[in-house]
Structure 1
């Protein structure tokens, strides 16, 4: 069967007769006038005819006939022009729409009763090929595994109801494309069930969606392998939503409401020293800052503190207002501890574990800048006759004796700055000395720690130390000034017999 032709000629053929009702009425009036005129002319009673002529009857009927013909002709021209204009506009709209339109029956054969040019373009066929070779069967072009979706339309038929179907079509070239049918159930003139729809080629969109899903799956797998934990923070709701893995790793609910109120929900979540960093991070999330980063130690499910790096990017709406922050939590514990080891090696004396010469100077100078309103002391130590120890027992024993002495000093001055500035020269820096009496007490403690004995092969090796002391700010306001004064005091002690201490004067 051939499809109904939806073109200009077809519409004109069917449209003009319907629109010419007005013409028919006019012609009817003309016919009535003609009949009346003939009757008048055929009347045998001349007196009646004369009387009618006198009254103008014949002239009236003639004018009525003429007027009817004029009206019919005029209306015919107007209707014809309107139909042509409407048909042209309809054809232009149908051809310019970038989507396929089609109607097809829901009976076996699934005959296409109408389709616009875009449908044929999508399918890759022209109208006559589909009519002759495929008997207008829409099902022929549907991918085999999706044909049941079309067959199932009839079972769910309800006149006027909207339906949306996603399926695959096979084009003339053999390509499988993804299409979306948006349409309504309709009843034909003879009561047959049909479906009228707009057909959109969504292949490119589908491919993009598939690629996006694949990338998301890759990212999810990569995150699982690397132990990264994704999160989303909703700015307006102040809700932090971690991935489910958060509970597995850190033993907490992955959804935290009122996240910015850190004090309220979990004060022991992080190391005490990092608590302020967590509060700052929570406040920054609401600020709208584009990139947000922080590092702190978080307790895991085993209650171990692990270093984590949190990084997030803010998402904005069309008005540039922050709506959410997307990011991830990365476990950097091993990396951080390796860095700490490297930092320790860079700043520490490898033998004794105290600060090295460079670091000692940096730390003391920084301390003096930040605490310049109090009295502090720098005590410089030199182990007495240590060259004799090395010459007598060897450098290995000498190193062991240094470690032994420093361990004793560290036990006494556990919170103070201790540094090694030479082979057997050390510094102990103490802050906030309230009086000279307090300074003397500290110096005596240090001298007693230095006066000790170390056993070597059952024999005790006696050692002692000399101490020179300088006071901030009287003797200097920088590390260099203080150590120069302490050095002078130290050598004064050595000149006077060693194993003692002296303040710079």
Structure 2
């Protein structure tokens, strides 16, 4: 009996000790800064104790969890409850569960996210009790959702546009492969790639430049743009597309670059259009070979990179071309130029640079050849081009004179080589034409060479101006809006010859006033009035088509009147004009002005402006005829009611 009483006393002591430990645990649990609950296992998981932090998170009171009244199923989102049963099962096998995320349904029926972890802390009557720790991760989940939405937007943008997102993680040394490229990848499960793989996808000609840009962006915060060719498809595809990437490097809290982000755009179509336009700008309209400017730029670009080998520059001129034009007309002359350009292009390889550098003058630059081959080509060209033109009792044989210059011996740049070959060609012309020769064999001396260069340059300028006149006539022949087309022509004249003002006046019958009908200026409005008094006797006395210009003395004398007419604080300092005649003997003039005092007009400028006055006269005549027709139509309508 005594032994029984002793066992009973020991059991009661154990119960009191267990109760004290439970109270101590509750006190500790209540004060911890993370959410803690003790959960009774069994058929269902019920909450035994909940600390202050858990109550704050869930919105319940401590009393709501007393006497094991609340089941975990009431507190946890129904879609997540199975994770708690799984965690309890893991603990029963003597392990601590992994952390897992689940949603808590709060007292006011809102939902928050929490991170949970289970572990067993005691058994009572063979029933397990779990210590469950949790902490609020709602804000983190919101951020993750925002990031996910941003990524979704990026993926959607990639699907509906050609834009590609670039995001390089510097610490991980990898970037996410865009969705649009995964379909080309050999292993579609690989979502990330290293920087070396990116370099490998760049076209070899662009790789070094792209790598320098990227390495610079890794050193400091910066923004920039890069254009390059990126491989499309696998390594063996050989297909590339042009891309433009706008990028920005971003520094972390420690000041070191952590990411390089950007957007890439497929600009293949844009590049194709740009290259087509560039090609058009480089070509001569008549012959479709390179023009003078493009020829020089291409040859110089090659010579800057190539310091070895023998390269030859040909200057080719049609003999007696003016005679061909004068005898058979410009149409036949253009045909001769086109035929010779075709023959030159066919005779030389695709690697040769073939250009038209003047009206009847061509150049060819042949890379990596020999003197024997160059001479043979020149002889072949002179032979093949010969043909006879005949008509109206006239007979002319088309022939060429060809001069050649060799890199190294004759020069190292286009300008020097061209000058030497040009001198050689001139010597051929002087000594019978229809032949060829190298610069060293035909040296004529610096003085004669200089005169020849100036003569040829002047002739090229005059040809260029004739081409401008052709443009003006073309504008006239296609004009629907006479005034609009005339204004366009005036602007082209002003910009081509660096004028500050170009205007058209028609003279009144009384000879005292003139009417301003059209005006272009790069300084805004020049004239405040349309009707101006004629105070330039020299122009009134001039013949039609005669070029006259003001003197500084006259300009100063009329300065006050000019300011009154123009209303402009910066008067035109130099004026030139050409009188023209239009319908029924009426007269007018085209004025050109410059802010440059005492401007000296070049011979080709004077000639072209005089010719343009004839074009303007046609414009004015057409305009007056249209006005007369409109008046006649209006009168007819009025008379017929």
Which TM-score applies when normalising by structure 1? 0.61
> Using the alignment, how far apart are the partners of 1:166 and 1:238 within structure 2?
30
> Using the alignment, how far apart are the partners of 1:152 and 1:90 within structure 2?
26
> Using the alignment, how far apart are the partners of 2:210 and 2:300 within structure 1?
34
RMSD over equivalenced CA pairs, Å: 5.6
The aligned residue for residue 194 of structure 1 is 129
Q: How does 1:94-493 map to 2 (within 5 A)?
A: 94=29, 97-107=32-42, 110-128=45-63, 131=66, 135-147=69-81, 149-150=83-84, 158=92, 160-163=94-97, 164-185=99-120, 187-226=122-161, 246=181, 248-249=183-184, 290=218, 295-296=228-229, 298=231, 305-309=239-243, 332-371=267-306, 376-387=311-322, 389=324, 398-414=333-349, 415-432=351-368, 434-435=370-371, 437-452=372-387, 463-493=398-428
> Using the alignment, how far apart are the partners of 2:417 and 2:94 within structure 1?
96
> Using the alignment, how far apart are the partners of 2:49 and 2:182 within structure 1?
58
1:204, distance to aligned residue in structure 2 (A): 1.5
1:381, distance to aligned residue in structure 2 (A): 1.8
Q: How does 1:2-21 map to 2 (within 5 A)?
A: none
Which TM-score applies when normalising by structure 2? 0.49
Cα distance, 1:285–1:420 mapped onto 2, change above 3 Å: closer
1:370-426 residue CA offsets vs partner (Å, 9 max, x unmatched): 455665433212223444555666656644543332222122222222222222221
**Given that residues 244 and 267 in structure 2 are in contact (C-alpha distance below 8 angstroms), is that contact kept between their aligned partners in structure 1?**
no
**Given that residues 106 and 151 in structure 1 are in contact (C-alpha distance below 8 angstroms), is that contact kept between their aligned partners in structure 2?**
no
**Given that residues 154 and 165 in structure 2 are in contact (C-alpha distance below 8 angstroms), is that contact kept between their aligned partners in structure 1?**
no
1:177, distance to aligned residue in structure 2 (A): 0.6
> Using the alignment, how far apart are the partners of 2:216 and 2:413 within structure 1?
43
**Given that residues 409 and 449 in structure 1 are in contact (C-alpha distance below 8 angstroms), is that contact kept between their aligned partners in structure 2?**
no
Cα distance, 1:169–1:335 mapped onto 2, change above 3 Å: same
1:196, distance to aligned residue in structure 2 (A): 1.8
1:176, distance to aligned residue in structure 2 (A): 1.1
> Using the alignment, how far apart are the partners of 1:368 and 1:166 within structure 2?
69
Which blocks of at least 5 consecutive residues in structure 1 are unaligned?
Answer: 1-13, 20-82
Instruction: State which structure, 1 or 2, has the greater radius of gyration over its C-alpha atoms.
Output: 1
1:454, distance to aligned residue in structure 2 (A): 8.9
1:197, distance to aligned residue in structure 2 (A): 0.4
**Given that residues 120 and 131 in structure 2 are in contact (C-alpha distance below 8 angstroms), is that contact kept between their aligned partners in structure 1?**
yes
1:119, distance to aligned residue in structure 2 (A): 0.6
1:122, distance to aligned residue in structure 2 (A): 0.7
Which blocks of at least 5 consecutive residues in structure 2 are unaligned?
Answer: 1-12, 220-224, 444-641
More relative contact order, 1 or 2 (CA 8 Å, 6+ apart)? 1
Q: Secondary structure at the match of 1:162?
A: coil
| Count of residue pairs the alignment pairs up | 409
Q: Secondary structure at the match of 2:275?
A: helix
Cα distance, 1:97–1:421 mapped onto 2, change above 3 Å: farther
1:199, distance to aligned residue in structure 2 (A): 1.3
Cα distance, 1:326–1:441 mapped onto 2, change above 3 Å: same
